[in-house]
Amino acid sequence: MSVQLQSLDYEALATFRYAMRKFLRFSKEELKAKAELTPEQYEALLAIRAFAPKRGLTIGELSERLQVKHHTAISLVDKLAARNLIVRRPSTEDRRVVCVQLTRKGRGMLASVAAIHRRELKTRSPEMIEALKRLRT
């Protein structure tokens, strides 16, 4: 059963996507200027910090969190490891499995750029939240 969308629904969808695009453009520019990171590299650092700060994430878990193919996650890990932002370590549960963890440098860089993103989201979120509220009715 399909729902008939009204003009206000289209407006709310467009407003939300516009607000997201503005934030993502801001994010891309800030990451490049402040940390020389791509958005995907930043998302990888965030995922590692958020979901497995002590044991690290496996490549498969990282791939799932980022919604990318396994080989793409490996490429991201290679680039971040080359910059000493993450390290690969054997899993404590299964030595055949490799986990990736943030280094001190990676934690510091992430803390800096995440704080900038949080401040920006606090500024931009009312527009996004309002659009989402309009879609719930």
Domains of the chain as residue ranges with CATH: 7-136 (1.10.10.10)
pLDDT in tens, 12-71: 999 999 999 999 999 999 999 999 999 999 999 999 999 988 889 999 999 999 999 999
Structural contact between residues 93 and 48, judged by C-beta atoms closer than 8 angstroms: no
pTM beyond 0.95, yes or no: no
- Closest by alpha carbon to 46, among 28, 66, 60? 66
Of the candidates 34, 15, 4, 30, the one whose C-alpha atom is nearest the C-alpha of residue 109 is: 34
pLDDT reported for residue 1:
64
Instruction: Give me the percent of the chain exceeding a pLDDT of 70.
Output: 99
Phi and psi for 38 in degrees, rounded to 5? -85, 160
User: Under DSSP, is residue 85 helix (H, G, I), strand (E, B) or coil?
Assistant: coil
34-69 burial, b at 16+ Cβ within 10 Å, e below that, comes to ebebeebbbbbbbbbbeebeeebbbbebbbebbebe
Q: What confidence tens digit (pLDDT) does each residue in 2-12 have?
A: 789 999 999 99
